[in-house]
């Protein structure tokens, strides 16, 4: 029997849901907004807390809008968390999550602004999609935290030229204010999904670290060498770039993408192990770890190199905040933080943090 609760919705929480309480128990509610009164349908009960979907709204937030996609909502496609929220409020909610994680995990009080990235309507931005191909030839997407499939005719956040994972290699062109790069990447390999993400992140990292000709740069979790290629161009023949990537296929592509820069090399191997073996000096370190973050061992190894600047690209604010705390223990302070809305209509964001040695 379906269990329904009458709830008053509290603040946003990391993960695309909002916090409410029922008889002292925490309830994480999707499809709601702070200040709303809703009827919520319980979807999970693990004993410690409940998960629920707001299925009726009795007192609506002024920031609530009708979802542009007919497949967004309770019990439907799980890809978008925030289609019922104005874009401006989506960014404010995401900023609140980043601020809360920094305070809770790194002990930092910081006002955060989430920056808009075109397209400004928050739709048609996703360059890669993974559909479920149905027996009748139709397409589907999965429900939230489920293997169940919702059949769709079109995904509104998919770019018209969005690719699906396949065998082979594709070439991505990245245009930035400092030049244009052509990168080779496996068709089913990792690539930033927002059509404007590569340009946005490369420009941000280059501006933050202000790398100079002749410097040595270490690019960790380098993927196919997106940052490494532009960093190699910036340091020039008198400099050096080492790109470290654990995925062998991505590392092979990185080697090909850096071939025109003899002063740049790609190293295949787990980042922690490569750092333990030694990679030489580093004036600047750039890292873009997976969602779990870099963790303490890697942070300590980076700090031991004594770089003048560290640019940390992160898709998970909790992992980033935890690692900023680890950097602080090693004498590195957060000097700058930019947050980009590279996943509109969802709870996801991308952060770029600049860490520098604390003044002594």
In order, the DSSP letters of 250-302 are: HHHHHHHHTTT-TTEEEEES-HHHHHHH-----SEEEE---TT--HHHHHHHH
Distance of CA 133 to the CA centre of its chain: 26
In order, the DSSP letters of 35-80 are: T-EEEEEEEEE-SSEEEEEEEEEEE--TTB---SSTTBSTTSBSS-
Q: Is the distance from CB of 219 to CB of 242 less than 8 angstroms?
A: yes
Of 155, 204, 315, 351, the active-site residue reads 315
77 is catalytic: no
Q: Residue 202's closest CA among 238, 159, 165, 173?
A: 173
Q: Is the distance from CB of 54 to CB of 62 less than 8 angstroms?
A: no
The SS3 of residue 304 is helix
Q: Is the distance from CB of 192 to CB of 198 less than 8 angstroms?
A: yes
User: Which sequence positions are flagged as catalytic?
Assistant: 315
């Amino acid at each position: 029997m379906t269990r329904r609760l009458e709830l008053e919705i509290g603040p946003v929480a990391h993960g695309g849901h909002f916090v409410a309480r029922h008889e002292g128990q925490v309830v994480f509610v999707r499809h709601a907004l702070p200040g709303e009164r809703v009827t919520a349908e319980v979807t999970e009960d693990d004993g410690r807390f409940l998960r629920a979907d707001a299925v009726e709204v009795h007192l609506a937030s002024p920031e609530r809008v009708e979802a542009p996609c007919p497949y967004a909502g309770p019990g439907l496609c799980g890809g978008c968390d925030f289609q019922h929220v104005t874009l401006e409020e989506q960014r404010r909610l995401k900023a609140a999550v980043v601020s809360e994680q920094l305070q809770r995990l790194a002990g930092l009080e910081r006002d955060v602004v989430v920056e808009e990235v075109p397209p400004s309507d928050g739709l048609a931005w996703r360059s890669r999609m993974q559909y479920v191909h149905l027996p009748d030839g139709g397409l589907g997407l999965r429900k939230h935290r489920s293997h169940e499939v919702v059949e769709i005719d079109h995904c509104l956040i998919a770019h018209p030229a969005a690719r699906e994972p396949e065998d082979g290699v594709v070439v991505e062109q990245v245009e930035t204010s400092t030049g244009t790069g052509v990168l080779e990447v496996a068709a089913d390999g990792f690539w930033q999904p927002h059509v404007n993400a590569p340009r946005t992140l490369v420009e941000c990292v280059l501006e933050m670290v202000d790398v100079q000709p002749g410097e040595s740069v270490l690019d960790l979790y380098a993927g196919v060498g997106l940052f490494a290629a532009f960093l190699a161009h910036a340091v020039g023949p008198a400099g050096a770039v080492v790109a470290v990537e654990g995925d062998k296929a991505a590392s092979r592509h990185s080697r090909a993408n850096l071939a025109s820069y003899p002063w740049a090399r790609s190293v295949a191997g787990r980042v922690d192990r490569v750092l333990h073996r030694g990679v030489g000096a580093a004036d600047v370190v750039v890292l873009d770890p997976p969602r779990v973050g870099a963790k303490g061992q890697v942070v300590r190894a980076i700090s031991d190199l004594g770089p003048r600047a560290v640019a940390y690209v992160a898709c998970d604010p909790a992992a980033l905040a935890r690692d900023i705390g680890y950097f602080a223990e090693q004498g590195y302070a957060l000097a700058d933080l930019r947050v980009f809305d590279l996943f509109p209509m969802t709870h996801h964001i991308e952060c770029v943090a600049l860490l520098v040695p604390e003044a002594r």
